[in-house]
Amino acid sequence: MKTPQGLQALIDDGIIDAVIRPLKSGKEASVYVVRSGDSVRCAKVYKDMAQRSFQARVQYQEGRKVRGSREARAIGKATRFGRKQQENDWKNTEVDALYQLAAAGVRVPQPYGFFNGVLVMELVTDAEGRSA
């Protein structure tokens, strides 16, 4: 298996040691089982906007707040800056929610960090060690 570009950067930086195998691929991200030291974790590599192909994108992003008026105008006009801002906001939303849920005591995969569009988190397994 060829190492995905987003994960190769994490290997080069020493955040993960190796990609073991792909776990799942969906409309917004691909998830891989990775090794980091003695731990087996998963890495969720978010797809760029151009690679995502789900039709309910507008409904999916509806109601999201934009911090500043400059960003809101840029997103509304679909400028390059606005599209980049919207992309970054989209990727950070799930990561932020995961950290908030973990802090509130909800049993979610433990996040270990978000690096350049890749979320490294706990790999949840069943009693036999299969990914849940």
In order of their start, the domains of the chain are: 5-122 (3.30.200.20)
Model pLDDT, residue 49: 67
> What are 23-75's pLDDT values in tens digits?
999 988 999 999 999 999 999 998 876 555 545 445 445 555 656 666 666 55
In single-letter form, the type of residue at position 106 comes to V
8 Å CB contact between 93 and 64: yes
Parallel/antiparallel/unpaired status of strands 39-46 and 111-115 = unpaired
Model pLDDT, residue 88: 75
Model pLDDT, residue 54: 42
Cα dihedral 25, 111, 56, 58 sign: negative
Does residue 129 register a pLDDT over 80? yes
> What are 64-97's pLDDT values in tens digits?
565 666 666 655 666 777 767 777 777 788 889 9
Tell me the three state secondary structure of residue 51.
Answer: helix
> Between residues 89 and 101, which one has the greater pLDDT?
101
How big, in percent rounded to 5, are the helix, strand and coil portions of the chain?
Answer: 35, 25, 35
DSSP-derived secondary structure letter, 8: H
